[in-house]
Amino acid sequence: MKKKLELDEKTWNEQRNANKSRQERSYSRTKERRAARRHYMFMSLVAAQKTPDEIKTLMDLYQTGL
């Protein structure tokens, strides 16, 4: 019985660690995609010859999700 519990605990720990690693990779990829979208938006605003104040306002709105 004790060996079964130890095996279950080991399996559970391995699964937890695998899930944690998967979440961290997913979070990193999400951060990278968001950064790329912000950069693309910034460059688009610069190309559209928006003023620095307009760019700041639009980037702030983008950050808040509006």
19-53 residue pLDDT tens: 999 999 999 999 999 999 999 999 999 999 999 99
Give the model's pLDDT for residue 6.
85
Tabulate helix, strand, coil % of the chain (nearest 5).
90, 0, 10
Q: Give the span between the Cα atoms of 53 and 34, in whole angstroms.
A: 22
pLDDT at 60 over 70: yes
Phi-psi domain of 15 (left: phi exceeds 0; alpha: psi -120 through 50; beta: other):
alpha
The interaxial angle of helices 2-47 and 52-64, nearest 10 deg, is: 150
Give the model's pLDDT for residue 61.
93
pLDDT at 66 over 70: no
Q: Which of 46, 47, 40 shows the shortest CA–CA distance to 62?
A: 40
